[in-house]
Structure 1
């Protein structure tokens, strides 16, 4: 049987060339008025997923 990527994982994570995964940070969807511009800018940048989570994501991205 053909292996397929989990569509939910595909929408949330991006695989890099070095087999790492990028994800968006939390706390950037609402209640943004009280957060400083610097804080919002930092939250906008993607972050590399931890090694533990990467193992799980590799199974979802087969």
Structure 2
């Protein structure tokens, strides 16, 4: 039986940290940026971790 492939979309969106958690970008920073204040845009630049509820699902997409 052939090997399972990782999810291509997930590979582009998520990275594993050294501790095993999964990093992701924040949403709402693609367009309509004129009405968002600078503080909000600056905070959206930073990466964050995937929530505990979704972590198992994302790891499965990356590993299989």
Question: TM-score, length-normalised on structure 1?
Answer: 0.89
Structure 1 unaligned regions, length at least 5:
none
Deviation string 1:7-26 (CA, Å, 9 cap, x unpaired) is: 11011111111111111111
Q: Which runs of 5+ in 2 are unaligned?
A: none
Partner of 2:24: 23
How far off its partner does 1:4 sit?
Answer: 2.4
If the length of structure 2 is used for normalisation, what is the TM-score?
Answer: 0.86
CA distance in 2, matches of 1:7, 1:17: 21
How many pairs align? 62
Partner of 1:8: 9
Root-mean-square deviation (CA), in Å?
Answer: 1.0
Give the match for residue 51 of structure 1: 52
